[in-house]
Structures are given as structure tokens and as C-alpha cells.
Amino acid sequence: MMLSAYTKNLGIGYRTAWNHFKAGKIKGVYQLESGTIIVPDDIVENKLATVIYSRVLDEYNKCNTFFHFTLFC
């Protein structure tokens, strides 16, 4: 996979991935003669996560919100 696809999978910027490539922090990566940077598919992990934020104002809704989070997760 190309470096741009690698950045989308990890949720980082292209420049950050470029700096990691130049510093040798990405194992197995290589650059073609055309300049394209290739990252092997077997080392790519999807590290995106979902964050849920909720603000509850009263006791009744606290119990109700916990029930809905339990169903969601």
C-alpha cells in the first residue's frame, strides 16, 4: 500500500508518516525508483478508535444513559 493509504488507516498526517519513513520508524517500508513509498500490508494495523462523550444532568438520565451505552458497546 502507498504511504497515503497508510496514513488514512492510522489517522495521521502525511507529513508525520513521511518523517517516520525518513527516520526509519516504519519497518519493511521501501521507496520505488519513481519516488513512491510502499508500506507492506502485513505491518499495517487499523488504530482508529471511537470516543463517546455524554453529559448527564440528573439521576434518572444517568441510569438511562448507562443502559444505552451498554446496548451500544
Q: Which domain range does residue 22 map to? A: 3-72
Q: Are strands 37-38 and 30-31 parallel, antiparallel or unpaired?
A: antiparallel
How many whole angstroms from its chain centre is CA 44? 10
Residue 2 pairs in a beta bridge with 38
Report how many domains make up the chain.
Answer: 1
Average pLDDT of span 26-51: 81
Write the pLDDT tens digit of every residue in 3-29: 999 888 888 899 999 999 999 998 899
| Residues in CB range of 72: below 8 A, 6 or more apart | 52
Closest by CA position to 10, among listed 58, 56, 60, 45: 45
| pTM to 2 decimal places | 0.57
